[in-house]
């Protein structure tokens, strides 16, 4: 009984700040400018297919890169001693103490044509070397204002959300299971493939959720690192609420569709996880 009462503040909080806004989004999405019921907000959405496609595509790439970078790091960390782990976890968390916009803004100065990286390359003579070898005439690498820079910004900002859950799960794996596998004659690769990786899948799946979802809806990164050259979902939704046309109804409809698509992605992925390895997600 006591435990039940303890959860009341949280339930109230969720009701007011999560459930109620979601219901508002739902209502707004089916409301016309004049206040009546409409589905027009959805029927006009075909023009945004490219925007949806691009956002999901870039978020997918960022998530994949995060897995490729994050899994080995988490795996390695989980096998290290306590001191090293504390230090590494600290280093992963440290940048997150700073505001995410500030960090993204710094990446702008790093990637610019006259930015930190290109200046460094120039100072160490990289461009002179390339030019003399290939007979080219380059003065800088074009990195800023590209879709690659957008993916980089996402990976940089969301990588900790991939590393930490995987690390936690691998860390919790009962070492006796691994010993048993070894006793039964599995070599290192087999132990990893047949034991550790399947057992770490729940961590990977929640890592994917925590990276993919914010990456799909991100809006400051495309503007700062992508130079505002293309519209992504986050920008599109923001423009409905903060733009000159001020259409919160259409904005809500787009948000709703985005949420549904994300939910479908997650459901498919969870099904895949369960079917394959019996992993439980979230």
Partner 1 sequence: MKRIVSVLLAVMMVSTLLTGCGDSADKYPNGEVNVLNWGEYIDEDVIPEFEEEYGIKVNYKVCSDNETLYSTLSGGGSDYDVIVPSDYMISRLISEGMLEKLDFSNIPNFSDVDAKFLNPAYDATGEYSVPYMWGTVGIIYNTTMVNGDITSWSALFDKQYAGQVLMINNPRDAIGVALKYLGYSYNTTDKSQIKEATDLLIQQKEDGIVQAYVMDEIFDKMEGGEAAIGVYYAGDYLTMLENNPDLAFVVPSEGSNYFVDAMCIPKGASNKENGEKFINFMCSTDVGKDNCESIGYSSPLMSVKDALDPEISGNPVAYPSDEVLASCEQFINLPADILEFYDSEWLRLKV
Paired with 31 in beta bridges are 37
Return the residue of 38, 89, 113, 147 that touches partner 1, per CB under 8 A. 113
Q: Note whether 110 binds partner 1 by CB under 8 A.
A: no
Return the residue of 6, 90, 91, 242 that touches partner 1, per CB under 8 A. 242
| Residues of this chain, 248-277, that bind partner 1 according to CB under 8 A | 248
| Residues of this chain, 182-241, that bind partner 1 according to CB under 8 A | 220, 223-224, 227-231, 236, 239, 241
- Rank residues 204 and 254 by Cβ distance to partner 1 and give the closer one: 254
Q: How far is the CB of 112 from partner 1 (least distance, A)?
A: 5
Q: How far is the CB of 241 from partner 1 (least distance, A)?
A: 6
Q: How far is the CB of 158 from partner 1 (least distance, A)?
A: 18
Return the residue of 246, 263, 271, 276 that touches partner 1, per CB under 8 A. 246
First to last CA, the chain: 25
Question: Can you say whether residue 227 is alpha, beta or left, with left for phi > 0 and alpha for psi between -120 and 50 degrees?
Answer: left
**Nearest CA among 175, 166, 176 for reference residue 77:** 166
Interface with partner 1: number of residues (CB under 8 A): 34
Distance (Å, whole) CA 266 – CA 209 = 7
- Rank residues 136 and 188 by Cβ distance to partner 1 and give the closer one: 136
Q: Note whether 122 binds partner 1 by CB under 8 A.
A: no
Which letter, b or e, does each residue of 167-178 get, where b requires 16 or more Cβ atoms within 10 Å of its Cβ? Answer: bbbbeeeeeeeb
For residues 154 and 62, is the Cβ–Cβ distance under 8 A? yes
Residues whose CB is less than 8 angstroms from the CB of residue 141 and which lie 6 or more positions away in sequence, other chains included: 117, 118, 121
Q: How far is the CB of 90 from partner 1 (least distance, A)?
A: 24
Q: Which two tokens stand for residue 251?
A: 């904005």
Return the residue of 102, 134, 183, 188 that touches partner 1, per CB under 8 A. 102
How far apart, in Å, are the Cα atoms of 151 and each of 146, 162, 278?
A: 9, 15, 31
Give the binding site for partner 1 (CB under 8 A): 47-48, 50-51, 99, 101-102, 105, 108-109, 112-115, 144-145, 220, 223-224, 227-231, 236, 239, 241-248
């Amino acid at each position: 009984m006591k435990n039940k009462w303890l959860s009341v503040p949280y339930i109230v909080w969720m009701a007011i700040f999560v459930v109620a806004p979601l219901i508002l989004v739902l209502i707004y999405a089916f409301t016309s400018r004049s206040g009546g019921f409409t589905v027009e907000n959805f029927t006009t959405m075909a023009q945004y297919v490219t925007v949806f496609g691009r956002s999901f595509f870039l978020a997918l790439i960022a998530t994949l890169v995060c897995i490729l970078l994050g899994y080995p790091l988490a795996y390695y960390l989980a096998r290290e001693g306590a001191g090293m782990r504390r230090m590494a976890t600290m280093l992963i968390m440290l940048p997150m103490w700073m505001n995410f916009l500030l960090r993204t803004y710094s990446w702008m100065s790093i990637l610019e044509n006259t930015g930190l990286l290109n200046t460094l390359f120039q100072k160490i003579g990289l461009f002179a070397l390339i030019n003399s070898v290939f007979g080219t005439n380059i003065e800088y690498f074009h990195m800023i204002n590209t879709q690659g820079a957008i993916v980089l910004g996402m990976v940089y900002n969301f990588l900790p959300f991939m590393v930490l859950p995987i690390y936690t799960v691998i860390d919790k794996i009962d070492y006796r299971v691994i010993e048993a596998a070894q006793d039964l004659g599995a070599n290192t690769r087999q132990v990893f493939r047949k034991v550790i990786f399947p057992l770490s899948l729940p961590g990977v799946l929640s890592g994917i959720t925590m990276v993919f979802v914010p990456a799909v809806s991100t809006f400051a990164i495309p503007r700062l690192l992508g130079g505002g050259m293309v519209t992504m979902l986050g920008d599109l939704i923001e423009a409905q609420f903060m733009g000159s046309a001020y259409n919160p109804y259409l904005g809500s409809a787009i948000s709703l569709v985005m949420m549904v698509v994300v939910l479908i992605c997650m459901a498919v992925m969870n099904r895949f996880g369960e079917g394959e390895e019996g992993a439980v997600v979230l």
